[in-house]
Structure 1
């Protein structure tokens, strides 16, 4: 799959273009991209995707803060798996934000060789989000490209959306997040040095620093796994503020991997979350904490072996 960060100088060969942010590439997104693949096959062209980086909300409303489900790299990997030919990863700037819907079509979509556009029912584009699926249909008729608008995908009465998955993760509902994503949620980041208290207790941990815009699930202990040095390694993850040792501490993400003693410092790793085991809590001393950690490890190993 090709990833381009600028528009082509010359008009590209014909293509179907899927538009959206695709945060998480959940089952709703997959349905949209699969529909795009079907249209591309029907028309004898490739499927391309156009997304903006950073997320438009970060530029338009920097004070709000955003909580993304996936890194850009994760989104690209999932799109490649689905069969996308090219991803245009274009910079989102104030100038781009002020582009009218008509200019968006004429200056961006048409030079990309669009013959068909695929969008979700709630897609908006152009300055102030004035463009909607109805307008892109009208512009498609004017400029000679087809448009598919996919309606909301529903599972057990719940709309499959990035916001629904964010809510599930913030509530610690891993089972719901899994069902809406179509796979296990994950958390990526760089392994950094911590207090090394876990090592002193016999439970060495990899302290993970996620990108600032990435969503961190509800505080607590989770059963997880990661692919390390070509092998699937099981473990347990704590998201919390170390209440046993600190009265006030920032939220940290630390993972104790079972049967692994390699050096992970400064490496980017992705941890896959399978189940939430319990809430974070403050213990009355080291012995009580060690007893609970032993119990957590047994529960996590038992659960993960059942899955893997």
Structure 2
């Protein structure tokens, strides 16, 4: 490869034994991708067609599941292509493009979980004000901001990344792209890029998580003094959101720690963990909401019975 090619394309060095198990990886990930799209889409469809589910809580669930599908589409097409390719490479512009949508939809995930926590807080702690606060216009505004704010904030990172060109051929030790790793492997002063990354991490992850913890703490305090029926209802509606939050936070936390802290983790273990990071959340969410949310599971059962008839 000539120097021009080396400075334009990056080698994704996070793959393991693709030449041996490429077709197996491809079949497994394609099956996973199809399952993610179908399972998330089924729940979104149920929420759309059943009027009993046209409530803020279920609308936010539908938005979260749609975001999970969008999040997956930033990874799976490239993954599937790489599993069948001799060399796992990606152009620098496409790498920036993937990193932008990776963090944008990841930030939207936290914003949507924050919206769910706010909805549950108002519903349980301020029930009389709930219809006034959670109006249709308010819900639409929250959904627009959940997708628009992360995308607008990450535009600055994408612009900075385009100005920092790779100065030599290097191997990107992951199976997907992120801004922090690109900044470390490019020429020039990356101080502003790293400072912006820290700001975005605080704004898109830390602040929403603090708000969510505060909201559920208030809910816990209020329901603790309530009746047994109130406690049961609160647990039934809040537990799925908390499980999804914990799952996504652990996966995101690993990704952040891994790219900022140099740790000697075997490449095979890294490869498996990266695949789990991509797969787990999108597989986990429809199971949690489909099985734990009573109204969704009830309508799913009705739909299955109708289909069998």
Aligning the two structures, in what range does the TM-score lie when normalised by the shorter sequence?
under 0.3
Name the TM-score, length of structure 1 as normaliser: 0.25
Higher relative contact order (CA 8 A, sep 6+): 2
- Write 1 or 2 for the structure with the bigger share of strand: 1
Name the TM-score, length of structure 2 as normaliser: 0.25
